[in-house]
Amino acid sequence: MGIRFVLMVNKQGQTRLAQYYEYLTLEERRALEGEIVRKCLARNEQQCSFVEHRNYKIVYRRYASLFFLVGVDDDENELAILEFIHLLVETMDRHFGNVCELDIMFHLEKAHFMLEEMVMNGCVVETNKSNILTPIQLMDKTS
């Protein structure tokens, strides 16, 4: 299935966005996020951006105070996921203009919409920024 979840967590470990591509209960999510965040935040810059956790592999990338964590299956191409994160950030950047943690917090639904355009069923389906943003911009215009 590829991508199992996408998390955005700030450096205090607070969740800023969470999207799961398989259903987990509230408790499971809570526990998982806690464990993963603890694991990833403890790592330093030199260490590689991939961490194994239970049966997930987590690919993470840090932008200023925000960590992007993507949980993937074992056979996923980690480097590609790393770049997928970057593509997501670039896309948000194009939409919000110099995106920051607060943008995501204030427009949580929009960040979700972008993710919805990019990932379906745990697969990366769209990587064309204008294709990703068109529906969101159209929606903005009409509302």
Partner 1 sequence: MEQLKTLGRELAMGSHGQSKEFLDLIKSIGEARSKAEEDRIVLREIETLKRRINDADTPKRKMKEYIIRLLYVEMLGHDASFGYIHAVKMTHDDALLLKRTGYLAVTLFLSDDHDLIILIVNTIQKDLASDNYLVVCAALNAVCRLINEETIPAVLPRVVDLLNHSKDAVRKKAVMALHRFYQKSPSSVSHLLSNFRKRLCDNDPGVMGASLCPLFNLVSDDANSYKDLVVSFVNILKQVAEHRLPKTYDYHQMPAPFIQIKMLKILALLGSGDKQASGHMYTVLGDIIRKSDSMTNIGNAVLYECICCVASIYPNSKLLEAAADVIAKFLKSDSHNLKYMGIDALGRLIKLSPHIAEQHQLAVIDCLEDPDDSLKRKTFELLYKMTKSSNVEVIVDRMIDYMISISDDHYKTYIASRCVELAEQFAPSNHWFIQTMNKVFEHAGDLVNIKVADNLMRLIAEGFGEDDDAADSQLRSSAVESYLRIIGEPKLPSVFLQLICWVLGEYGTADGKYSASYISGKLCDIAEAYSNDENVKAYAISALMKIYAFEVAARRKVDILPECQSLIEDLLASNSTDLQQRAYELQALIGLGAEAVETIMPRDASCEDIEVDKNLSFLNEYVQQSLERGARSYIPEDERTGMGNMNNFRSQDHNESLQHGLRFEAYEVPKAPMQPKAAPVSFASSSDIVPVPEALSSRETHHISSVGSISEAGSSELKLRLDGVQKKWGRPTYSSSASSASDSYSTSQKPTNGATQVDGATAVNSKVRDSYDSRKTQVDITPEKQKLAASLFGGSTKPEKRSSTSHKVPKSNAADGAQGSKAAVVPNEVAVEKTIHQPPPPDLLDLGESAVTTAPSSVDPFQQLEGLYDPSISSGIADNVGATTNATDIMGLYSESTGSGSYSIPVSGNNANLLSELSNAPVKATSGETITTPLPQSIKGPNAKDSLDKDALVRQMGVNPSSQNPNLFSDLLG
Query: Which residues inside 2-31 make contact with partner 1, applying CB under 8 A?
Result: 12-15, 17-19, 23, 26, 29-30
What angle, rounded to 10 degrees, do the helices at 129-142 and 78-96 form? 30
Residue 102 C-beta: closest distance to partner 1, Å: 5
Cα of 80 vs its chain's centroid, Å: 13
Nearer to partner 1, 33 or 69 (CB): 33
Q: What would you measure as the largest C-alpha separation in the chain, in angstroms?
A: 46
41 makes contact with partner 1 (CB under 8 A): no
**Pair 65, 10: CB distance under 8 Å:** yes
Which tokens belong to 53?
A: 């956790």
Which tokens belong to 7?
A: 């998390």
49 makes contact with partner 1 (CB under 8 A): yes
Binding residues for partner 1 restricted to 69-128, rule: CB under 8 A: 77-80, 82-84, 86-87, 89-90, 93-94, 97-102, 105-109, 112-113, 116, 120-121, 123-128
